[in-house]
Amino acid sequence: MKFDLFSEYLSHMEGTSGRLELAKQLSSLLSELTPSETPPALYMVQGQLLPPFAGEPMGMASRLLLKAMDRALEKNEGGGGSPDLTALLAEAGDPGILAERLGMGREHGRLNLSEVYESLLQISRQSGSGSQEEKISRLASLFRAVSPLSSRYLARFVMGRLRLGVGDSTIVDALARTVLRTPPEDEKGWKAEMKSVRQKVEGAYNLCSDLGRVGEVLRRDGLEGLGSIRPSVGYPIRMALCERLGSGAEIIEKLGRAAVESKYDGFRCQIHCDGSHVRIFSRNLEETTGMFPELAREARRILGHRSAIFEGEALGYDGENDSYHPFQVTITRKRKHNILEKSEEIPLKCLVFDVLFLDGEPVMDRPFSERRRLLEGIFPVHRRTLSEREVPPDQVFGASRLIETDDPHTIDLFFDEVVEEGFEGIIAKRLDGVYTAGSRNFNWIKLKRSYKGALSDTVDLVLIGYYRGKGLRTRLGIGAVLGAVFDPVKGEYLSVARIGSGLTEEKWKELREMLDDLRVPDPPSVVRSGLVPDFWVFPKIVVTVLADELTRSPVHLAGREEGEEEGYALRFPRMVSGPRADKGPEEATTVDEIRRLFDLQRQRSLRE
């Protein structure tokens, strides 16, 4: 496919509102591509060069972009007389609009999608002496070889500002539609078949976290070919998630006899070992190997030549007091500079709680009880009391603390003991449950401190807009933010709270600067809100919020069903943390979780 035609599809998607229509547009594009063109197309519509775990960012500084534009104009005009692009960019307010207006593509129409993608990949990877000059030259050549419309998307892409609103769930829908393109007369049957196809596409994605790979296999080998995508070292598996319940009795009623573990508050790590190399992935599937050298080093020592994928929670360790640091301290280990110094100041201990792949074979579909036995055969188990750690001071890894019981009272006692130690709560696991990648179900159930109090749990909200500051906040340029929860079925972000407290002035300023980079003139197609903020932003930043209670609201849309006049809202919300680097927008609290928290709150109120 010619890149100029690809850009026309992007233009159609940019003008499309609603996730369903966006998926249809993307499906039409995918149906025109060859299998080998599918991965670069899918990566690029999401504004990235490779899957997040591959760590290949594109973002280019505006000054380099303007230099590339200037050079493309010089070539076109024979040199000299270039306009003041800095002033023109300030006037346009969008690098893409400016690039389109400049009309640099005198030679357009000759490059295809794959050629542009490979050039961008080379630009991203260019480093060392003279790399900036080479990047400018390569990008200028691209501008001269694409249409004005293509220049719009090329400029936005290299600055990390494409923002079409195409999320993972939209791509999964679009891929499913390439299999079942036209609804038959039996629409009900078609929908059921589409649901089945979508589950297979999503299931393959959950095992490799690479939509480009899934798309290429699907386009080349059809639906049956997706069976070739299996767990493998180096491809992070999308992490299993927990449901919530409010007491030990409810847990036993749901699971019967269960395994119950401490719930730690640190970095969730998925660690991949292939016998010689170790890679560590975060909750949102970004590679963090370089940040945690002690984990990589020790995992390599323990596993030796064995291949494995296992999960654990990494906590900052206080050697003087033989205790774990709170999350606010642990989070300071997430950094790109001065890593060794920080690792000596705050060493990590990793509590391993599951194994997904071992000695060349996936074990996700085996019962949890069997996976636990495999885990305990690798990592030391320390039966402990309150005064002892799961991991001795001279070791880095240990198995998570765990009990098995069918007694609600035993669960409640264990919960109280864990909370007394300063941890968040507990996670109960179905003994015969499989590891459900990328899914939230009752195989895993969490019970946290906040469920036992007067208020509900904290929630993770995606910011979709913000308001100008008033009064004392005028100088900050921000007075409140608009938060939303995620609906994974529809792929939409639904407003649930306007939040104006919880951060220091300095943190408010930092947040405003981050939001300014995400500002868009209109609400993104995947955003639905009953409130209109002063500024809309692309849904990317996740913050943790605490509130007094959940209420029904006529102005927010979270959980509002067709025909209803009220959704759910947070009463007296305040941020308890700034932007979460470990969570992407699709990992935010879901609409179903909000409903469940509301039910837990109501049940607690009735008991009282």
Read off the amino acid at residue 397: F
The reported pLDDT for the residue numbered 77 is 56
Q: Are residues 510 and 447 in the same domain?
A: no
Residue 412: pLDDT over 70: yes
Gap between the Cα atoms of 492 and 591, Å rounded: 10
Positive/negative CA dihedral, 109, 113, 114, 116 = positive
Domain boundary among 428, 452, 476: 452
pLDDT of 602 reads 77
pLDDT band per the 50, 70, 90 thresholds, residue 608:
low
pLDDT one-digit tens code per residue, 532-554: 999 999 999 999 998 888 889 89
Which CATH number characterizes residue 282's domain?
Answer: 3.30.470.30
Three-class DSSP labels, 118-157: HHHHHHHHCCCCCHHHHHHHHHHHHHHCCCHHHHHHHHHH
- Tokens linked to 75: 């070539």
Last-in-domain residue among 452, 483, 499? 452
Same domain for 530 and 439? no
Q: 511 and 433 share a domain?
A: no
Please tell me whether residues 357 and 282 are part of one structural domain.
Answer: yes
The confidence band for 25, taking pLDDT boundaries of 50, 70 and 90, is: very high
Q: How many of the other CB atoms lie within 10 Å of CB of 348?
A: 26
Lowest mean pLDDT, pick from 11-25, 200-214, 238-252, 381-395: 381-395
The answer to whether residue 339 is domain-embedded is yes
- Let me know if residue 533 belongs to a domain: yes
State percent of the chain over pLDDT 90.
52
Q: What angle do CA 167, 588, 329 make, to 5 degrees?
A: 125
Position with higher pLDDT, 354 vs 132: 354
Across 306-320, b (16+ Cβ under 10 Å) vs e yields ebbbbbbbbbbbeee
Is 237:197 a contact under the CB 8 Å cutoff?
Answer: no
Tell me: the pLDDT tens digits for 450-485? 544 444 578 999 999 999 877 767 778 898 999 999
State which of 400, 418, 452 marks the end of a domain: 452
What CATH code is carried by the domain that includes residue 582? 2.40.50.140
Range of the domain at 521: 459-607
Q: What is the mean pLDDT of residues 360-367?
A: 96
Q: What's the mean pLDDT in 494-506?
A: 90
| Digit-coded pLDDT (tens) for 276-332 | 899 999 988 889 999 999 999 999 999 999 999 999 999 999 888 778 888 878 888
Residue 443 lies in a domain: yes
Domain contains 375: yes
Span 424-431, mean pLDDT?
Answer: 93
Regarding whether 538 and 484 lie in a shared domain, the answer is yes
Q: Which residues are catalytic, by number?
A: 263
Shared domain check, 467 and 447: no
Please check whether residues 482 and 413 belong to one and the same domain.
Answer: no
Q: In angstroms, how far apart are the furthest CA atoms of the chain?
A: 83
Give a yes or no: residue 409 inside a domain. Answer: yes
Q: Mean pLDDT, to the nearest integer, of 403-408?
A: 94
Residue 259, domain member (yes or no): yes
What does the DSSP assignment read for 398-440? EEPPEEEES-HHHHHHHHHHHHHTT--EEEEEETT----TT-E
Distance between CA atoms of residues 382 and 162, nearest Å: 50
- With contact defined as beta carbons under 8 Å apart, do 19 and 490 qualify? yes
State the burial class of residue 321 (Cβ atoms within 10 Å of its Cβ: 0-12, 13-18, 19+).
exposed
Find out whether 569 and 497 touch, Cβ atoms under 8 Å. yes
- Residue 399 identity (one-letter amino acid): A
User: Which residues have a Cβ under 8 Å from the Cβ of 222 and sit 6 or more positions away?
Assistant: 179
Q: Which helix (H) or strand (E) holds 421?
A: none
Residue 128 lies in a domain: no
Mark 468-501 as b/e (b = at least 16 C-beta within 10 Å). Answer: ebeeebeebbbbbbbbbbbbbebbbbbbbbbbbe
Q: What amino acid occupies position 327?
A: F
- What integer pLDDT is reported at residue 132 of this predicted model? 87
Do 469 and 445 lie in one domain? The reply is: no
| pLDDT value of position 322 | 79
Q: Which amino acid is at 430?
A: R
Q: Are residues 490 and 439 in the same domain?
A: no
The verdict on 430 and 496 lying in the same domain is: no
Q: How many CB atoms lie within 10 A of CB 277?
A: 12
Coil, helix or strand at residue 576: strand
Question: Is the pLDDT reported for residue 17 higher than 90?
Answer: no
Q: Report the pLDDT value the prediction gives residue 605, as an integer from 0 to 100.
A: 65
pLDDT at 65 over 70: yes
List, for residues 569-592, the tens digit of each pLDDT value: 998 888 987 788 778 898 899 999
Q: Number of helices (H) and strands (E) in the chain: give both, helices first.
A: 20, 22
Please name which of 282, 273, 280 lies closest in space to residue 302, comparing C-alpha atoms: 273
**Shared domain check, 481 and 337:** no
- E strand or H helix at 180, and its extent? none
Give the total number of structural domains in the chain.
2
Of the ranges 21-35, 393-407, 414-428, 450-464, which is most confident? 21-35
Q: Within 10 A of 571 (CB to CB), how many other CB atoms are there? A: 12
Question: What mean pLDDT do residues 122-143 have?
Answer: 88
pLDDT for 604 equals 67
| Residue 367 in tokens | 């019962």
Same domain, residue pair 284 and 354 = yes
The pLDDT of residue 185: 67
Residue 57 burial by Cβ neighbours in a 10 Å radius (0-12, 13-18, 19+): exposed
- Residue 238 near residue 202, CB atoms below 8 Å: no
Q: Considering the domain boundaries, does residue 152 fall inside one?
A: no
Task: Report the relative pairing of strands 267-274 and 397-399 from DSSP bridges.
Answer: unpaired
Percent of the chain past pLDDT 70, that is, above it, reads: 94
Mean pLDDT of 381-400: 70
Q: Could you tell me if 311 and 379 are in contact, meaning their C-beta atoms sit under 8 angstroms apart? A: no
